[in-house]
Amino acid sequence: MAFENFPETEKQPSEVSPPPSGRNTGRTVLTAVLVAALLGTWGYIIYDKNKTKETLDQKENVIATTSVQRDELQKELEDAAMRYDMLKTSNSKKDSVITAKDKEIEEKKIRIQTIITKSNATQSELAEARKLIASLNTDIEGYKQQVEVLQGEKIQLTQEKEFVTKQRDRARKDLDSAETVIKTKDDLIDVGSTLHVSNFNIVGVNEKGSSKEKPTTKKKKVDKLRITFDLDENRITSSGTKELYVIITSPDGSPIAVEALGSGTFVTREGESKPYTKKLNVEYIKSQKKTVSFDWKQNNNFQTGNYKIEVFNNGFKVGEAYRPLKKGGLFS
C-alpha cells in the first residue's frame, strides 16, 4: 500500500544547549581552587596539630624520663652517701690516704648533687652524674677496704696492747710481791737490827768539897746522875755509829728537856714526836756487848721521887728503868 497521498513530515532541527558563558566557568574554577586551598589548610592544620601533639608527647616523655632518672640518681647518691657516712663514723683513725680520699669523695658528691638539682639538666649531664655515682661507689668500696685494713691494724694493736698490759700487770704483780718480800725482809732486818738495853744502873754523884767524885745518897748533895747500861749482842745489826735517845722523866711526870744542854725531839716508829733529854752517838761492833755510861747534870736541883729512864733506838723503846730519889739520898 502506498501512502503517497500523505505529505512528508517536515524535519525539525534538533535542540542544542547553548555553550556556557565565560563568567560561569571562572566562578567554578575559583570555587574549586578555594576548596582545594581550604582542604590543604585544614590538612596542614590537622597535620601540624598532630605533629605538635607528638612533639609535646615526646617532650613530656623526655621530661618524665629525666625526672625518673633524676630520682634514681638521687636515691643512688643518698645510698652511697649513707654508706660513706657510716664508714666515716666507724673509722676514728685516719691516715693521709684516707684524708685524701675523703676530699675526693666529697667533691664528687657535690658535683653529682649539682647536676641532679639542675632543672634543665641534659641527658649528657645525667650520664655524667651516673658515671660519677659509679665512680663514687668504687671509691667508697676502696674506702671501706682501707677502713677495714685500719680496723684490722687497730684490733691487732689492741690485742698487742692487751697482751703487753697483761705482761706488765703480771710483772708489776711479781715486782710488788718481790718488793713485799724485800720490804718484809728489810723490815725484819730493820727491827732485828734494833739494839736492846739491859743492866741499868743510876748513881748520884757529888762533885763538891773534894777533888774526887763521890757517890752520895743525900739528895741535897747530888750534883749529877751517872746513868750506865749495856747494849746487848746483836748479830743482825751492822757495826757503826748508833743513835740512842735517852728520856729522863722527873717525879712530877714531865720529861726533862733542856735545849741548852743538848735536848731536842725525835719521832718514834708510831709517828709520835717525843722530847728527849740526851742524844748519844755510840760506836757499836756487831755481835758484841757494849757498856754505855753518861752523866746528866741539870741546871736546877733534883726532886724527891721516882725518876724514869727510857732509851730509844731506831724509833723503838729498847730499855726502861726506874729509880727513886729521896731526901736522904738515892736508893736502889
Distance CA 203, CA 46 (A): 152
Domain 197-330 fold is: Immunoglobulin-like (2.60.40)
DSSP one-letter code for 60? H
Q: What is the pTM of this model?
A: 0.48
List the chain domain ranges. Answer: 32-192, 197-330
For CA atoms 107, 77, 128, 121, the dihedral sign is negative
pLDDT in tens, the chain (332 residues): 444 454 554 555 554 555 555 566 777 877 877 777 777 787 777 777 777 767 766 666 666 677 777 788 888 878 877 877 776 676 655 556 567 777 888 888 888 888 888 778 788 888 888 888 888 788 788 777 877 777 777 788 788 888 888 888 888 888 788 777 776 767 777 788 999 999 999 888 888 766 788 887 677 788 889 999 999 999 999 999 999 999 999 989 999 999 999 999 999 999 999 999 999 999 999 999 999 999 999 888 888 888 899 999 999 999 999 887 777 644 44
Place of cell 740512842: 244
Distance CA 39, CA 45 (A): 10
Tell me the β-bridge partners of 181.
Answer: none
Distance CA 51, CA 180 (A): 103
Please compute, for residue 68, the number of CA atoms within 13 A of its CA located in the half-sphere on the CB side.
6
Amino acid at 27: R
Contact call for residues 321 and 198 (beta carbons, < 8 A): no
